[in-house]
Structure 1
């Protein structure tokens, strides 16, 4: 009887867990689905039922110079952030994984710290700092802020990959007379390619989709895609905003998916190229 009762309680617990999971996913993704669907609504008044299918709101985005300028700004900031963050993150992860030096734990903590602090608090803190030193907000500071936010994630990804790389490959190259730099370039870096690609794509996505930090750090008159959406929402909610939100969803979701496919392909090629160990 006890076993039967416990089995019933277990089934009800799993059903309740499944129901709560479904409700959470509905709560998370229903607004996103509604935004995408309403971006194709022929009527300028967003709502259901839809009056027809139309791409006119996407055409209006292409004619909106403010939106195009914000897209270009977000794009080049994200590209610079991805390149710089990947280079800094990979080198930092290599140093933290392969070497012992004074202050290593302190450096590791400082590198990961921006990921532990909420973006709003970090944004306000840096804004107060630049105001205290009488430093005007510039695009350079905005890019540096995005790099600061993305570096921890690239370091963590690269460190996870570095731990899985056997040191015997590097030691073999060093024993054959290769320099430390040549060993890193010819042996370690090719094995790190999946982490490099994943880190670059993640850094790009974090920068392109950043809202809170960009609000605090952007100079006057400069808009990124997220801040442009917020400024448009202050006027009215129109299908044009839904179309712009759909573009953001495609970019921020599509890039990680493409990155995942690239990583799978690279991993398969790497496994095919590795010699099989004899047992």
Structure 2
């Protein structure tokens, strides 16, 4: 009993140590005072107002939002196609292809960022938004593949074979049978890809062109000059997005799962 008590205490301590700095940022974003201090002198939203009236920060936010949506669309499309190929078909080099798709998770992000930058410099390609889009898509693709594969393995082939036996071609089978069953994983993978792109800073510093800022690099640049209360407000927005999107992904996955079971109750019994 004493050992379990110590384990519980240690677990609580670790969580407090991890999330206390985040809680401080969230609280100080509403501090009325010019300087961050406790106790707070009052509650105010003026730092958010100043934040959203700053054209530089708003431009960085639009860049991150556009980049995240494009990365989500590209990596989700490629991830679904790759997952179907790896789960439903047998071909030479399948294990090698799986390792290749998952390798960005295994390689340190800094190493990948420098490697891709050197390779494109060898091809005489400058840093650009396209390079940023390509790099973020590479980083997000493994997570989409892992999520979609895990769902696809649990979908029985009999459903697809039944559709084919009734005259549906492969494309019709995919859109009528496979995709609806995959939809929770597709949404979850897309939202995870967006989150990975939106809050990435290490690789973005290597790949972004001069003069282009995303929200994380904007925060990094602001911290080098001074600690402004606007940084706390911007950090609040970043934490809300990066924490809220995965929660939304889980909620959507459960919603579509319940909706699919309600629409096809016999499938839960097979």
| Alignment TM class, shorter chain as reference | over 0.9
Q: Which residue of 2 aligns with 1:6?
A: none
Indicate yes or no: 2:83 matched with 1:108: no
The one of 74, 84, 88 aligned to 1:84: 74
- SS of the equivalent of 2:184 reads helix
Q: Which residue of 2 aligns with 1:36?
A: 26
* CA distance, structure 2, for counterparts of residue 218 and residue 40 of structure 1: 31
Indicate yes or no: 2:188 matched with 1:188: no
Q: Residues 18-37 of structure 1: matches in 2 within 5 Å?
A: 18-37=8-27
Q: Which residue of 2 aligns with 1:170?
A: 160
Indicate yes or no: 2:204 matched with 1:214: yes
**Over residues 124-143 of structure 1, what are the superposed CA-to-partner deviations in whole Å (9 max), with x where a residue is unaligned?**
22122223333210000100
> Which structure's CA Rg is the greater one?
1
Q: Which residue of 1 aligns with 2:61?
A: 71
Q: Which runs of 5+ in 2 are unaligned?
A: none
Moved over 3 A (4+): none
* CA distance, structure 2, for counterparts of residue 258 and residue 177 of structure 1: 37
- SS of the equivalent of 1:254 reads helix
- Residue 64 of structure 1: CA displacement? 0.8
* CA distance, structure 2, for counterparts of residue 94 and residue 241 of structure 1: 43
Report how many residues are paired: 269
* CA distance, structure 1, for counterparts of residue 69 and residue 262 of structure 2: 32
Q: Which residue of 2 aligns with 1:253?
A: 243
Q: State the TM-score, normalized to the length of structure 2.
A: 0.97
Q: Which residue of 2 aligns with 1:153?
A: 143
Q: Which residue of 2 aligns with 1:59?
A: 49
- Residue 177 of structure 1: CA displacement? 2.1
Q: Which runs of 5+ in 1 are unaligned?
A: 1-10
- Residue 80 of structure 1: CA displacement? 0.3
Q: State the TM-score, normalized to the length of structure 1.
A: 0.94
**Over residues 117-160 of structure 1, what are the superposed CA-to-partner deviations in whole Å (9 max), with x where a residue is unaligned?**
11111112212222333321000010010000000000010100
**Over residues 257-276 of structure 1, what are the superposed CA-to-partner deviations in whole Å (9 max), with x where a residue is unaligned?**
12222221111111111243
